[in-house]
Amino acid sequence: MDADVKSVTRKTFTIREAVVEDSAVIAGFIRELAIYEKAEHEVEATPETVAASLFGPLSVTRGLICEHEGRAVGFAVWFFSYSTWLAKNGLYLEDLYVTPDYRGSGAGKVLLKRLAKIAVDNGCGRFEWSVLDWNTTAIKVYDAIGAEPQNEWIRYRMSGETLKAFAED
């Protein structure tokens, strides 16, 4: 890591709402995240599909961009969920990514804090996300900020041809 990046403090980051002009940057971050998660072969996102899905008229998602001195160094994509037990909205973080040079600089924590504030400001009862079980670096950060793993739940997914076949039956 560059010595100058190590000295970056939280106060030097700017967090702003993502706009359609950020679509190419977000698509690039998505690809970088997929490479990090060893799943690049699963990425279908392009700047055009990001623009349509994140900023289109039917979008339920929102995004944040983390900048340092005008350079995008990370992003988060999130949406409101719903808890029937609480009868309140929740905030679900779909993805958070910080470029390798800025990991450990506090950029990820600043993004998480902004998301927590959005959740509180909107009366959400929960702020939730998932993490790969092998991502010990992220797990340490989440533990350190007081987040609690929900080990009793197993996440399921249906996609691609399986999803289409099930929908048609």
Catalytic residue IDs: 142
* Strand order from edge to edge, sheet including 71-83: 13-17, 61-68, 71-83, 88-98, 126-129
- Tell me the H-state helices in the chain: 3-6, 23-36, 47-55, 107-121, 136-144, 160-168
Three-class SS state of 79: strand
How would you classify the pairing of strands 88-98 and 126-129? parallel
